[in-house]
A and B are shown apart, each in its own frame.
Chain A
Amino acid sequence: MRHIRAWSIALALLVLTIMIVVPLVEIFIQSVYRDGELQLAAPFRTLADAEILKVLLGSIWLGICVIAGTTVLALPLAWIMVNTRLARWRWLDIVFLIPFMTPPYIGSMGWILFMQKNGYLEQLVPGLASVTPSFFTFGGMVTIMSLHLFPFLYLLLRGALERIGGSLEEAGAVLGAPFTYRFRRIIAPLLLSAYGMGAMLIFVKTIAEFGTPVTFGKRIGYEVMTSEIHKYISSWPIDFGKATSLASVLLTACLLIWYAQSVLSRRFTYSLVGGKGIRRSSLHSQGRGTWIYVIFVAVVLLLSIGVPYFSIIAASTMKLRGVGLAWNNLTLEYYKELLTWGSTSMRSLMNSVLLSLAASTIAVILGTWFAIVIGRSRTRMERTTDLFSLLPNTVPGIVMVVGLILLWNSPWMPIPLYNTYGMVILTYVILFVPYTVQYVKSDFGQIDPSLFQAGQVFGGKPHYVFRRVLLPLIVPGMMAGWMMTFTIASRELVGSLLILPPSVQTSATYIFAQFEQGQVSLGMAMAVVSVGLTTVMLVIIESLGSKRKWNA
């Protein structure tokens, strides 16, 4: 039996190597081969530049601040959504995903349009004109990025809190521990592994993020690594070597963080899901104080969705953007243009939906397999699998995509995948498979092995144990991974711009093209429609899933 698991690991490593490692190696070769000769020192020369070091530190500082920002939003929110009466409002979970569904550059544009001079805020409340410039600072950038990324941390923390269940905390309460003590000695240690993983992913997402730095960061003159990388990759003269040298710095930074996190989580992973069912604690269910939670949730929603979407919708319904907010300036013309059957915009929308459906399904299957292979990452093979499957999340998307093109479009490649839809799906799968791996891994790590033993003892065949014990326990993680992948894939921009076959557009590239063409209103309308569509699809899937969802 043991050799089957070994084969499974070997196969997973092989698939990961072909999918992820080889393209990155191609990139590395590019960074050391300059002008046709091998120059191993080339990447290091790029780094000797003091300017680059400053930019790198800027990136890291931004990442740390955004971790703090998302924690302030996500931790109370997760606690509220597990422990208070608001937990019954499951639809809120999908609403919380909206900021994450919004393409980051659209969200930033929304904030800019709202806060800028003569912007919507000043048009609504002229008295605030003296306050708005203070938004265009580093603090504003951290705020925007935190409001965009917090759902990610929230989902992880909520999942972990749910698994902690009420009994442990109640035990503490019975023994007379006050709330702060219970939080410090019971909840915090149990949360640490999920939080560490979430914080690391937030950090990596932040320093690999491109949309906000390029829209908002440019405006306040805050430079980060991704904008530098992008410069070498998208303006003449194109220098993949320099770009990849910079990318390898980012990669190294991310790997260090990953290592610290994995050490941390190996120390603090506990078996939480055992034979006993999980029961919600009644400690916090009293009506008293509910209004505080409602206010907190409302404020978060107002800032993360209200403000940007006010701007986005306003911009998408304006006849003339130079006129500003006025009832006689209102039009639905752009939506009509957008939703005409058979138009380019409709085709892009359909492409987005179909491509992300295919990509997220494949990503979940692969990701679950990898997560199970990784298990509790005890052996070196398991840890290597863990590392490989996480790589796409640590490299800026654009670098990964260039590597993929180098590999799949090389003359010796026997599989003619390049410039087909298959290539787009493959790219999305590679870019987003880490999400499923993370979610399933975090579910899986907390399952007590005694459950499988119990299944075995009662005569369950391996596939029966898998189907009736393991699968139900990891389905929530798979669902979260699927939803996350679908959400991000349907708004993916950087990779799509480079990898889509000619004449094919997705909603994200369509929006981007409209901005480039000066059709901002049309682009904003598309953003509203595609985010709306994604939300509807998630609601449908969630409601289908919740009927059969495993609930202990």
Chain B
Amino acid sequence: MNNFTTIKTGWNKGTSLTLVLALGLTLAGCGTNSNSTAKEASPSANNSVTNTQAADQKLVVYSAGPEGLANKIIEGYEAQTGVKVEMFQGTTGKILARMEAEKSNPVVDVVILASLPSAQGLKNDGLTLPYPEAKNADKLNPDWSDKEGNYFSSSASALGIAYNTKLVTTPPTSWEDLTKPEYKGQINIPDPSLSGSALDFITGYLSDKGESGWSLFEQFNNNDVAVAGANQEALDPVITGAKSMVAGAVDYMTYKAKAKGEPVDIVYPKEGTVISPRPAAIMKSTQHEENAKSFIDYLLSDEAQKLVSNAALLPGRTDIKAENRANLDEIPLLKADWVWMNENGADVTDKFTKLFK
């Protein structure tokens, strides 16, 4: 027993050597994979080494959904300019988290978010690069975009009441209708801490109604309205018939499901609703400034705005009409005060979350 340690170290020598050797080999494998690509270049196989030096042919875009639209816009832009776009797709929250994590060494050039207050936040933190000369920027809806050219809302969605047409035969016409006892426990509302547009709806409603606006949400709570994840998670139970309605539903998702044939539709309450613009911004840290600018130009071009309209979103330019959906002038609006909304977003989320706990 007294020479146990010797024996132990004996085979440990062998073990360590074997394992260290194997580790070294595998790490070397990783190394060759990554060393060939420049710091900011991504390795996605086909575009690694050649195009970083010569003409600047690269752009990194972080885009909020819908994915189909984002892909089409990237395709259109690549075809027009020959620039290769790397895209990260996610919700506004995911994109912001990724940017925060990468803060010390940013990768992204252009962001497209689904929430205006977030873009205002980026601007206030001095993270955006103004581009006031953007083509067609003068045709954008001035309420949704920055005068100094820090962000451009190339598209927008409106918030309404989505309902299951099999379960709801006479759709509600006002937000107050949702507090009726017949809908008790039948309604979802997206979580404002996860969905930027739900937050826009709640803050927009409050900025119009003032403090008394909270009574609507208190009644929602009394009527067992459920706070249910982000937008799609709130809508999904309505499609399958587990719930009847979504308050503050993003309209383009509902239009898309309806176009597919699902038993859903959307109404905009008569006292008005909120539009949730989807801003795009160039980051100050961009290493591909020219491409980023031409990307913004493309977003605001007739071609891209057509793609927006085809995806059942509201085009950001006032001179382009939406086709298979309600246009801006057909949607009754609340007087949303975006400055107030941006300043009070966090408090409202907090109060709302506590109310529905």
* A interface list, Cβ under 8 A from B: 1-2, 4-5, 7-8, 11, 15, 113, 116-119, 214-215, 218-219, 221, 231, 233-238, 240, 319-324, 358, 361-362, 365-366, 368-369, 372-373, 375, 402, 405-406, 409-411, 415-423, 425-426, 449, 452-453, 455-456, 461-463, 465-467, 469-470, 497-498, 500-504, 513, 515-518, 520
Contacts and interface: CB of A to CB of B under 8 A. Distances in A.
Given A362-B26, A409-B105, A518-B256, A5 B13 contact: yes
B67 A517 contact: yes
B181 interface: no
Indicate the member of B12, B42, B237 with the most A CB atoms within 10 Å: B12
A104 to B, nearest CB: 15
Interface residues of B, number: 95
Contacts of A116: 237, 240, 242
Contact of B97 (A7, A238, A373, A469): A238
Given A420-B43, A465-B10, A498 B101 contact: yes
A502 B102 CA distance: 13
B169 interface: no
Contacts of A466: 11, 14-15, 18
Contacts of A8: 12-13, 15-16
A117 B10 contact: no
A516 B101 contact: no
Nearest to B257: A518
A321 B65 contact: no
A8 B196 CA distance: 51
Contact of A238 (B23, B100, B257): B100
Contacts of A2: 5-6, 9
B14 A465 contact: yes
B88 interface: yes
Q: Please indicate which of the listed interface residues B5, B16, B17, B349 has the most CB atoms of chain A within 10 Å of its own CB.
A: B16
Interface string B257-289: 100111110000000000000000000000000
Nearest to B19: A369
Interface stretch (B211-219, B227-235, B330-338): B227-235
B292 to A, nearest CB: 14
A119 B86 contact: no
A501 B86 CA distance: 9
A324 B240 contact: yes
B91 interface: yes
B33 A422 contact: yes
Contacts of B7: 449, 452-453, 456, 465
Interface stretch (B114-122, B142-150, B302-310): B114-122
Interface in B48-101: 60-62, 65-68, 86-94, 96-98, 100-101
B242 A118 contact: yes
A449 B240 contact: no
Contacts, number: 247
A420 B42 contact: yes
Contacts of A502: 42, 44, 60-62, 86-88, 107
Contacts of A324: 240-241
Nearest to A318: B240
A417 B6 CA distance: 40
Query: Among B100, B104, B196, B226, which residue has the most Cβ atoms of chain A within 10 A?
Result: B100
Given A420-B33, A501-B86, A369 B261 contact: no
Contacts of B26: 358, 361-362, 365
Contacts of B86: 501-503
A369 B42 CA distance: 32
Nearest to B31: A422
Contact of A462 (B5, B14, B68): B14
Contacts of B101: 240, 402, 405-406, 409, 498
A457 to B, nearest CB: 9
Nearest to B100: A238
B13 A1 contact: yes
A235 B193 contact: yes
A321 B239 contact: yes
Interface in B173-205: 191, 193-194, 196
Contacts of B241: 117-118, 322, 324
24 contacts: A1-B13, A5-B12, A113-B240, A219-B228, A233-B97, A238-B96, A238-B100, A320-B263, A321-B240, A322-B264, A358-B26, A368-B19, A372-B16, A416-B34, A423-B34, A456-B7, A463-B18, A470-B11, A501-B43, A503-B44, A503-B88, A516-B232, A517-B67, A518-B232
A437 to B, nearest CB: 13
A426 B13 contact: no
Contacts of B11: 452, 455, 462-463, 465-466, 469-470
